[in-house]
């Protein structure tokens, strides 16, 4: 895109709390990533839709960002528009056994709201540091449950700015995958259908899951959760541990000593450190087990080497 096109797009998007050269390290849980050329935060669905139309008309690259808890953004940053769904679009409403949440709602808050309404089915999500949009797009899951178990409808925008309500059974949900990821749909909100339950039992389950995470996950360090997808019939963390890689590091990026599936930032790590570490882990695990690990964390940007 020419400079004049960027100027025009910046002008068109100027009402959306627009920032230029926003460091993405501030918006990822790995605390890694260079600047975004433009960074916007829609406050309403219609703002999001009209911004998408402007971005499409300009031909600008788009990255949709939730809490950045599953992203590795390169050190050079993202030369495009980052559309961030956060506090400005985070309403949660309860109606009977249904909960509808906007894309920027924190998933643990959705889970708490469900608990307070004595609705069960979202307890697994209490410790997942996602937004509703990111989790509905990634089909986040834990402890044998996942988003698609209770989702009934996902309201999405197409990349050209049309809103569509998609029944969850047409979202093509699989292990950490969805139609939203495949077709670049942007999740605006989603509706869950939950079961009436006992509030105390729900809270106990949430507390138990939180305790289990605290015991086995390196929650005091920046990370993106499990870095690798679970290979069929195996656990990535166990394969990495068996390969003797606990504590192995490149620069300030390290395989966690507590949970080998987590790659953590010891302080000041770069995206290049993480990319080099992940590559080394893949090679050594492959040599020892014959299994090639694939990233669950999504890479953004060009210097992925």
Ligand X SMILES: Cc1cc2nc3c(=O)[nH]c(=O)nc-3n(C[C@H](O)[C@H](O)[C@H](O)COP(=O)(O)OP(=O)(O)OC[C@H]3O[C@@H](n4cnc5c(N)ncnc54)[C@H](O)[C@@H]3O)c2cc1C
Q: Which residues are catalytic?
A: 176, 226, 296
Which residues, including other chains, have CB under 8 Å from residue 43's CB and lie 6 or more apart? 16, 17, 88, 89
In contact, 224 and 292? CB cutoff 8 Å: no
What is the smallest separation between the CB atom of 27 and ligand X, expressed in angstroms?
8
Burial 89-101 (b: 16+ CB within 10 A, else e): bbebebeebebbb
Residue among 140 and 194 whose Cβ is closer to ligand X: 140
Residue among 97 and 136 whose Cβ is closer to ligand X: 136
What is the smallest separation between the CB atom of 151 and ligand X, expressed in angstroms?
13
> How many other CB atoms sit within 10 Å of the CB of residue 208?
13
Q: Hey, is 200 helix, strand or coil?
A: helix
What is the smallest separation between the CB atom of 107 and ligand X, expressed in angstroms?
7
CA 75, CA 302: separation in Å to the nearest integer?
Answer: 9
Do the bridges between strand 151-157 and strand 78-84 make them parallel or antiparallel, or are there none, so unpaired?
Answer: unpaired
The rounded radius of gyration (Å) of the Cα atoms in the chain is 20
Residue among 106 and 115 whose Cβ is closer to ligand X: 106
Residue among 65 and 97 whose Cβ is closer to ligand X: 65
Q: Which of 244, 223, 255 is closest to 68 using CA atoms? A: 223
Residue among 16 and 135 whose Cβ is closer to ligand X: 135
What is the smallest separation between the CB atom of 296 and ligand X, expressed in angstroms?
7
CA 222, CA 219: separation in Å to the nearest integer?
Answer: 7
What is the smallest separation between the CB atom of 132 and ligand X, expressed in angstroms?
8
The residues of the shown chain that bind ligand X, judged by CB under 6 A, are 29, 63-71, 85, 103, 128-131, 133-135, 137-138, 140-142, 180, 186-187, 217, 219, 223-225, 298
């Amino acid at each position: 895109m020419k400079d004049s096109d960027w100027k025009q797009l910046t002008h068109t998007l100027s009402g959306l709390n627009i920032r230029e050269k926003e460091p993405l390290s501030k918006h990822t849980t790995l605390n890694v990533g260079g600047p975004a050329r433009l960074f916007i935060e829609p406050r309403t669905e219609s703002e999001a839709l009209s911004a998408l139309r402007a971005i499409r008309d300009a031909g600008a690259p788009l990255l949709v960002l939730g809490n950045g808890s599953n992203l590795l953004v390169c050190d050079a940053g993202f030369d495009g528009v980052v559309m961030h769904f956060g506090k400005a679009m985070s309403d949660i409403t309860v109606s009977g056994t249904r909960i509808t949440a906007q894309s920027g709602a924190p998933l643990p808050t959705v889970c708490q709201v469900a608990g307070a309404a004595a609705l069960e089915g979202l307890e697994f999500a209490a410790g997942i540091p996602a937004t509703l949009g990111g989790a509905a797009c990634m089909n986040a899951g834990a402890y044998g449950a996942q988003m698609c178990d209770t989702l009934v409808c996902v309201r999405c925008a197409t990349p050209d700015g049309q809103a569509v309500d998609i029944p969850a059974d047409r979202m093509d949900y699989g292990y950490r995958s969805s139609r939203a990821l495949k077709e670049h749909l942007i999740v605006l909100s989603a509706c869950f259908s939950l079961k009436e339950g006992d509030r105390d039992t729900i809270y106990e389950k949430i507390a138990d899951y939180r305790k289990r995470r605290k015991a086995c996950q390196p929650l005091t360090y920046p990370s993106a959760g499990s870095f690798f997808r679970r290979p069929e019939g195996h656990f990535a963390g166990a394969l990495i541990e068996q390969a003797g890689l606990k504590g192995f590091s490149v620069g300030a990026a390290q395989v966690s000593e507590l949970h080998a599936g987590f790659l953590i930032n010891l302080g000041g790590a770069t995206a290049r450190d993480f990319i080099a570490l992940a590559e080394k882990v893949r090679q050594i695990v492959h040599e020892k087990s014959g299994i090639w690990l694939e990233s669950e964390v999504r890479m953004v940007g060009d210097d992925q080497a």
